[in-house]
Structure 1
Amino acid sequence: MPDDRIDRVRLSLAFLPLAAPAGGKAPAGHRPPLTEVAFLFAELGTVDGGSGLGFSHAMHAGGPALYAHAKELAPRLLGEDPNDIGRVWEKLVSSAASAGRAGLATQAVAAVDVALWDLKARRANLPLAKLLGAYRRAVPCFHTPSGLPTTPLPEVVDSAQRALARGVGGIKVTVGQPDVAADLERLRVVRDRLGDGVPLMVDANQQWDRATALRVGRVLERLNLVWLEEPLDVHDVDGHAALAGALDTPVGAGELLTSVDEHGRLMAAGGCDHVQPDAPRVGGITPFLRIMALADQHGLGLVTHFAPELHVHLAAAYPRTAWVEHVDWLEPLFEERLEIRAGRLVVPDRPGLGLTLSAQAATWTTDRLEFTETA
């Protein structure tokens, strides 16, 4: 396409309030419950009138830092060919090399990277999943009734039953109380109330040491879990590998990792049966596709974290077992809604991500800035 270039970049920072506090992934006591999520939005335009929308997110802290870093990088996008997504990703990351190739530096780039892929799929008049090469039209999804292990059990069961009635395909229960016996009783009741036919997952939120994880993991074998998630500190690769080798229950990990390299080390060590990347957290769709290729090579399942509006497309393009986390937090940010059917999230048939920012999103926006080519 002759003279195809980006001629405008709009950035915005929004804080999405949560209807109820949610838990965090840090060890107990390190962070208060989550009450809002910061979003960095990137909207790109091209000389031929094309457009793409992307986003990244930060929980507990980091939203203003994402926005500040994106503002530094945005002018370097002007004049770039939007088709050269890999080269643009490398340019932005390399131009801020002193800030590193993981964490906030690449998470700011993620919003732009997602927007570039959205633009590419919109131009092709294809959903992003089909542009990437979809293996399925709908992806199994699971719901977490509460991110807090201390949420009263009746609330957890009620939320789980409502999610199943809505069509969700599995339930993930958060544990990690100081009293392990209380966690085990909690899980026993949930399994009893939901029945043996409901796919059940358990998220330990990195709360256990190696000995506890092995001891509790052996007890949990009788619950026939789909996976046991983050039983140890996410960076304890050797511990995860030892545990995955000792248990029949599959182990899931990775949602807090922030790069291809970190996920690669986890997979190479045999530290998980299901890898759980978060596209904005690892730097966007471009690095996420590299993680998917590694996961396929290692024969692993894929479980995406957060932002199902984005991840349903990526999971649909994974050749092996894939699950998407059903999180309805982002719904107020967009005009469109995902469809749940028979335990699966349906891949939207709209071009690109199929998303449009809502009017409500503007009310939560605290800052915005636009960059355009000068004549």
Structure 2
Amino acid sequence: MSDAIRRLTLSHVVLPLAQPVSDAKVLTGRQRPLTETVLLFVEVETEDGHRGTGFSYSKRAGGRAQYRHLADVAEVAIGQDPSDIARIYDSLLWAGASVGRSGVATQAIAALDVALWDLKARRADLPLAKLLGAHRDSCRVYNTSGGFLQASVDEVKERASASLAAGIGGIKIKVGQPDWAEDLRRVAALREHLGDAPLMVDANQQWDRARARRMCRALEEFDLVWIEEPLDAWDAVGHADLSRTVDTPIATGEMLTSVPEHVALLDAGYRGIVQPDAPRIGGITPFLRFATLASHAGLALAPHYAMEIHLHLAAAYPTEPWVEHFEWLDPLFEERVEIADGRIRVPDRPGLGITLSDRMRALTRETATFGR
């Protein structure tokens, strides 16, 4: 007899940052400084006693909306076989179909989808990467959290040096300021400071097509690993054109919230680096669907944020990926990722290899339980 989902526990968690951070969207007046990350955690229990944990997140508005949407549809999963992840996913999509199949709706479902994959791997007593079919036991890793624009160049240099000394392999800094000349000065300073260490830049969607072309040409001399989100995230044609006309690889995809939105890049002839985010695209199930298409198209992979999840997915990608390091979520988990020699190692613990901490419980604002 097959197992069945007995109980789901949802937690709405607000994690403050140690200090506010700003990217180009703040300097152009489109957003306020980031002060907290809001997370939706899901804990799954089955009739046979198996458990799994997953999460989704929002860096600004929308975190509570994710929590409320999943609370509206979660009951649909009760009694279903936890192994039937794709079927459960579709049933949740249909339960909330009136608000669409992207954005908050899929980001809410993502937390449960991740929990079900964690459960399946734990039940098999395998790390998730091994369950999926790993190509490697570790991935290249780069740090972003030290490169935000509220920090001075000297502060960014200091943090970059600390990251490299801790075993991280690459550094990403933010650009896209109204003063494009200041962007170039910051990049030049970091390139000189880092020598030949891998360096990436991220414009956070703040250039139009004309400015992006000029900036990408001006940045060529710095031997960057990639230029990220030079254009609006939904400008598939613009990103595709840039990816075919400049030597430095163009990276994008982190803001997209469904497989069709990512496929638009492929349809436009994109030749850059794809950055799907499992909690944003809707979970591990849709992430894997798009990853298959991206691999078939010969695209490199560098998943966005949530390294606790993406380390496993990157390890299962056919070609060598990059994983983004953010320490922001560390307080929520008992374990720490292992980083050395420029690489982040897949844990040998079952599932995602994470255990929720007492700090996560203390930061929980609201919970809801479904089933028994």
Pair in the same fold by TM > 0.5: yes
- Alpha-carbon offset, residue 134 of structure 1: 0.3
The answer for the alignment partner of 2:68 in structure 1 is 68
| Aligned residue identity for 2:68 | A
**Following superposition of structure 1 onto structure 2, how do residues 109-124 of structure 1 map, counting pairs within 5 Å?**
109-124=109-124
The answer for the alignment partner of 2:86 in structure 1 is 86
Q: 2:238 is paired with a residue of what secondary structure? A: helix
The answer for the alignment partner of 1:239 in structure 2 is 238
- TM-score for the superposition, normalised by structure 2: 0.97
- Alpha-carbon offset, residue 307 of structure 1: 0.8
Cα distance in 2 for residues equivalent to 1:10 and 1:185 = 49
**Following superposition of structure 1 onto structure 2, how do residues 138-287 of structure 1 map, counting pairs within 5 Å?**
138-146=138-146, 148-196=148-196, 198-287=197-286
The answer for the alignment partner of 2:54 in structure 1 is 54
CA deviations on 1:132-167 (whole Å, 9 max, x unpaired) are: 000000010101244533421000100000000000
Percent identical residues: 54
Cα distance in 1 for residues equivalent to 2:221 and 2:258 = 34
The answer for the alignment partner of 1:312 in structure 2 is 311
Q: 1:304 is paired with a residue of what secondary structure? A: coil
The answer for the alignment partner of 2:103 in structure 1 is 103
Cα distance in 2 for residues equivalent to 1:76 and 1:353 = 24
- Alpha-carbon offset, residue 209 of structure 1: 1.1
Cα distance in 1 for residues equivalent to 2:112 and 2:145 = 32
| Aligned residue identity for 2:298 | G
CA deviations on 1:313-337 (whole Å, 9 max, x unpaired) are: 0000000131100001111000010
- Alpha-carbon offset, residue 294 of structure 1: 1.0
Cα distance in 1 for residues equivalent to 2:240 and 2:75 = 43
Gaps of 5+ in 1: none
- TM-score for the superposition, normalised by structure 1: 0.97
Q: 1:61 is paired with a residue of what secondary structure? A: coil
When structure 1 is superposed on structure 2, of 120-129 and 18-27 the one drifting more is 18-27
The answer for the alignment partner of 1:77 in structure 2 is 77
Cα distance in 2 for residues equivalent to 1:325 and 1:183 = 22
The answer for the alignment partner of 1:44 in structure 2 is 44
When structure 1 is superposed on structure 2, of 292-301 and 237-246 the one drifting more is 237-246
Cα distance in 2 for residues equivalent to 1:316 and 1:38 = 27
**Cα pair 1:22 1:147 within 8 Å, conserved:** no
**Cα pair 2:21 2:149 within 8 Å, conserved:** no
Cα distance in 2 for residues equivalent to 1:307 and 1:49 = 27
**Cα pair 1:207 1:232 within 8 Å, conserved:** yes
| Aligned residue identity for 2:186 | R
CA RMSD of aligned residues (A): 1.2
Task: Name the count of aligned residue pairs.
Answer: 371
- Alpha-carbon offset, residue 73 of structure 1: 1.4
**Cα pair 2:145 2:327 within 8 Å, conserved:** no
- Alpha-carbon offset, residue 26 of structure 1: 4.2
Cα distance in 1 for residues equivalent to 2:45 and 2:92 = 17
**Cα pair 1:56 1:108 within 8 Å, conserved:** yes
When residues 295 and 190 of structure 1 are mapped into structure 2, their CA distance, relative to the original with a 3 A threshold, is same
